[in-house]
């Protein structure tokens, strides 16, 4: 369930106020709405002082520990049990954060982890917490999360520390906002004072009127894309959307939905994946994959794939492409685009997910052909083929199980990754298509319901809610905080 909050902004408030006038604000279905009853006065404590507020900024890169593309003062991975401390305020990396900042909102991405591990982020002058902020398994692809962290206020000011538990790992950190102290005042007009202002509306000073904002329950903001958006991926700062209908990819800033670039690719782009530096796009109509440098949107390579490439997924070293037209999967080395092998899959392979060791590909058939194939990442050997619902499509890994959306069965199947056992089949609205995992719950899009997304608890498949998005919701990606859903008939992408 997406968290919704009501905000009250105020200007000048008189001293001596004893309450807040609420004009029928009520919670409805997890959101907020206006009631039609008459106003009433609610007694609240009066307070004022200083508290931090969030100041959004244009995202900037604070650190990148990869040697070839490093930003900041470090160009080597964090080792096992290592704590790395850096100064965040001032001009650091590609950022300029005010000296008075007291915290950061960071998109942190882990890359190339050699062991299952976790990252903890905390103010440098405090004791390291026992909680983790980001978790990954060995060989997992780029793993992002958003972290809000305070900065040191004693000793060297403005510092943050990062701790890696095991193995080695590269980190990319992008600042999307900082926290700054702000003087607040919780004092409000009394009911009689508000009544007086309303009765003399012509004399109201707009700087003295409290303004109420509210959000509808579980609504999604939508931003324009190209024609017939399909696959989507997150690069740690921006969303990349394959526009099937006009042979382009849109780059959209995650913080505010602003369109940053439109990049021409091959014919009928379908799938999108991120390798930590570049975006890769499968072009179904061209039989190719396109590689785009995320730093500037330049196409740096186009490589042959099998017939009718659909889904694409990263295993930490290689891109895997499902070739629907010839019932195979291609393994392409990201360093130079060399094909490392082409391996048989089921009938009409469509989309893929990686479990840290093996690649899973949905086989888009019905009846006995409705399966998912498990392929060993090292050599492409088929390790098993397991039944799903009819016409399996999107797939996601939750850390122990694969979740497969079945378009023709209005259901999603949970399959244990270790042995392929079916752990349950759970209903979703019509034509389940894309699947994503948020760290606790599974989200699946449904095309045949004029565009919805259903949230299921990963532990037991309980339906936690179904939310409207745009027309013909297709694929979905998680940015560490919010879900992004492409709406193929609406030429938009929804953020919720």
The whole-number pLDDT of residue 170 equals 95
What value, to the nearest 5°, has the Cα angle with vertex 341 and ends 337 and 343? 135
What value, to the nearest 5°, has the Cα angle with vertex 20 and ends 17 and 23? 145
Kindly list the structural domains of the chain, giving each domain's residue range(s) and its CATH number in brackets, ordered by start. Answer: 7-47+186-213 (no CATH), 52-181 (2.60.120), 221-495 (2.130.10.10)
The predicted-structure confidence for 8-62, as pLDDT tens digits, reads as follows 333 333 334 333 333 333 333 333 333 333 333 344 445 556 667 888 888 999 9
The whole-number pLDDT of residue 453 equals 93
Judged by DSSP in three states, 224 sits in strand
Note whether 352 and 395 are within 8 A (CB).
yes
The predicted-structure confidence for 384-427, as pLDDT tens digits, reads as follows 999 999 999 999 999 999 999 998 888 999 999 999 999 999 99
H helix or E strand, kind and range, residue 195: helix 191-199
Low-confidence ranges of the chain (pLDDT < 70): 1-51, 182-220, 449-450
The whole-number pLDDT of residue 86 equals 94
The whole-number pLDDT of residue 250 equals 97
The whole-number pLDDT of residue 192 equals 61
Q: Half-sphere exposure of residue 320, counting CA atoms within 13 Å on the CB side?
A: 32
Distance separating alpha carbons of residues 328 and 305, to the nearest angstrom: 10
pTM, rounded to two decimals: 0.60
The whole-number pLDDT of residue 366 equals 79
């Amino acid at each position: 369930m997406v968290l919704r909050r009501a905000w009250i902004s105020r200007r000048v408030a008189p001293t001596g106020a004893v309450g807040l006038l609420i004009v029928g604000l009520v919670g409805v279905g997890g959101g907020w709405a206006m009631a039609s009853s008459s106003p009433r006065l609610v007694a609240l404590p009066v307070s004022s002082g200083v508290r931090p507020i969030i100041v959004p900024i244009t995202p900037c890169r604070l650190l990148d520990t990869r040697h070839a593309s490093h930003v900041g003062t470090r160009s080597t991975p964090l080792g096992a049990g290592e704590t790395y401390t850096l100064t965040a305020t001032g001009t650091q990396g590609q950022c300029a954060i005010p000296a008075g900042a007291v915290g950061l909102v960071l998109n942190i991405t882990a890359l190339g982890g050699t062991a299952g591990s976790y990252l903890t982020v905390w103010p440098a002058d405090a004791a390291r917490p026992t909680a983790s902020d980001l978790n990954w398994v060995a060989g997992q692809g780029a793993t992002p999360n958003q972290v809000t962290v305070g900065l040191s206020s004693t000793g060297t000011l403005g510092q943050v520390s990062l701790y890696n538990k095991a193995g080695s790992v590269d980190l990319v950190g992008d600042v999307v906002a900082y926290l700054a102290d702000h003087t607040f005042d919780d004092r409000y007009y009394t009911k009689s004072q508000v009544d007086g202002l309303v009765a003399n509306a012509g004399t109201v000073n707009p700087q003295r009127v409290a303004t109420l904002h509210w959000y509808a329950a579980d609504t999604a903001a939508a931003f324009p894309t190209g024609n017939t958006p399909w696959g989507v991926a997150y690069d740690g700062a921006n969303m990349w959307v394959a526009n099937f209908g006009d042979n382009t990819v849109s780059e959209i800033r995650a913080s505010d939905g602003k369109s940053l670039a439109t990049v021409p690719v091959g014919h009928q782009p379908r799938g999108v994946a991120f390798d930590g530096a570049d975006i890769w796009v499968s072009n179904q109509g061209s039989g190719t994959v396109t590689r785009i440098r995320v730093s500037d949107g330049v196409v740096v390579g186009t490589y042959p794939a099998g017939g009718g490439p659909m889904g694409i997924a990263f295993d930490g070293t290689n891109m895997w492409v499902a070739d629907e037209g010839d019932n195979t999967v291609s393994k392409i080395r990201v360093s130079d685009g060399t094909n490392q092998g082409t391996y048989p899959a089921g009938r009409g392979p469509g989309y893929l997910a990686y479990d840290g060791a093996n690649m899973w590909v949905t086989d888009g058939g019905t009846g006995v052909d409705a399966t998912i194939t498990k392929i060993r990442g090292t050599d492409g050997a088929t390790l098993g083929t397991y039944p799903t619902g009819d016409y399996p499509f999107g797939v996601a890994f939750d850390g122990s199980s694969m979740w497969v959306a079945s378009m023709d069965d209005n259901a999603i199947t949970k399959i244990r990754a270790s042995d392929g056992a079916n752990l349950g089949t759970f209903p979703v609205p019509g034509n389940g298509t894309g699947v994503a995992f948020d760290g606790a719950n599974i989200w699946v899009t449904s095309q045949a319901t004029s565009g919805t997304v259903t949230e299921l608890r990963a532990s037991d498949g309980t339906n936690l809610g179904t939310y409207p998005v745009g027309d013909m919701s297709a694929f979905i990606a998680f940015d560490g905080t919010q879900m992004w859903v492409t709406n193929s008939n609406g030429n938009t992408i929804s953020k919720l």
